[in-house]
Amino acid sequence: MGRVKANGLELEYQTLGDPNDPPMVLIMGLGAQLIDWPLPFCEMLAGRGFHLIRFDNRDAGLSTSLDHLGAPNLATPDSAPYLLSDLADDTVGLLDALGIDRAHLVGASLGGMVAQQAVIDHPDRVRSLASIMSSTGDHTVGQATPEARSVLGRPPAASREEAIANTVRSSRIIGSTGFPVTDQELLDRATAKYDRSYRPVGTLRQLAAALASPDRTEGLRAVTVPTVVIHGEVDPLIDVSGGRATAAAVPGAELLVIPGMGHDLPVGARPQIVEAIVRNARRG
């Protein structure tokens, strides 16, 4: 674990693998933390010859909290205190702080949106792009089901027990239907997340950033780095149409749609996901 100053913030990060291997930065999603990249998944990638860097976005985990900005009004895009372009700048700031010129970017969900924006805004800093369970910012694609949307609108929990229980329920709602996971596994993950950090208002600010940021479709048409788009066929939070639109926008992008996968990184799908990321990165 480490902590660096980047883009005017402090970002918590962790590295895995050989520092002499090509760097690969993992960007997690809405309200998620670096530990939401499962350690066995990270070890699989590092074992394929990459120096992995996973980190907490602003307003999540142990990175800088921006609570002084208050809670945004999600119905008013102008109330967003920052945009996805700012989170993309954070990612590049992390590279600067670690002395990394160019890196492979792997982003999941909102992290995929941030990775896309980073490639658009800083093309010279990116070797390859892997966008997982994400979308383009075009609000006609990637829409959530009503049940999945209710997960985003849940008020902050009043206690540790309620917060953990809510996370377990949410995981069941948005998770994979084709890959089994036990209640104990979900409980263990939810407990680890809460005990490390719980920032519901920070999550709202990140959501506001996604809602207020412009459509990236045209910007993605100019992306030239090797790109793979990975999406679950039954993702209820970001419909697979979001992944299809992303792949259609990026020239030459590979699209991998995984049957039975929802909005998570299920154990059974990880070898396929890792293989797609590595194959794409080798091209870069």
The 3-class SS string of the chain reads: CEEEEECCEEEEEEEECCCCCCEEEEECCCCCCHHHCCHHHHHHHHCCCCEEEEECCCCCCCCCCCHHHCCCCCCCHHHCCCCHHHHHHHHHHHHHHCCCCCEEEEEECHHHHHHHHHHHHCHHHEEEEEEECCCCCCCCCCCCCHHHHHHHCCCCCCCHHHHHHHHHHHHHHHCCCCCCCCHHHHHHHHHHHHHHCCCHHHHHHHHHHHHHCCCCHHHHCCCCCCEEEEEECCCCCCCHHHHHHHHHHCCCCEEEEECCCCCCCCHHHHHHHHHHHHHHHHHC
Rg (CA), the chain: 17
Domain count, the chain: 1
* Residue in the block written with tokens 């990775």: 115
* Residue in the block written with tokens 């999550």: 203
Asked if 110 and 210 touch (Cβ cutoff 8 Å), the reply is yes
Domain that holds residue 45: 2-283
Asked if 101 and 258 touch (Cβ cutoff 8 Å), the reply is no
Query: Which ranges of the chain have pLDDT less than 50?
Result: none
pLDDT at 95: 98
The dihedral of CA 218, 27, 133, 237: what is its sign? negative
Segment 241-260, tens digit of pLDDT: 999 999 999 999 999 999 99
CATH number at residue 7: 3.40.50.1820
pLDDT at 99: 98
Cα separation of 193 and 169, whole Å?
14
Q: Please choose, from the candidates 245, 250, 238, 279, the residue with its C-alpha nearest in 3D space to the C-alpha of residue 108.
A: 238
Segment 28-68, tens digit of pLDDT: 999 999 999 999 999 999 999 999 999 999 999 999 999 99
Query: Does the global pTM surpass 0.75?
Result: yes
β-strand 227-232 against 254-258: which pairing, if any? parallel
Length reported for the chain: 284
pLDDT at 284: 85
Asked if 234 and 177 touch (Cβ cutoff 8 Å), the reply is yes
pLDDT at 173: 97
pLDDT at 154: 87
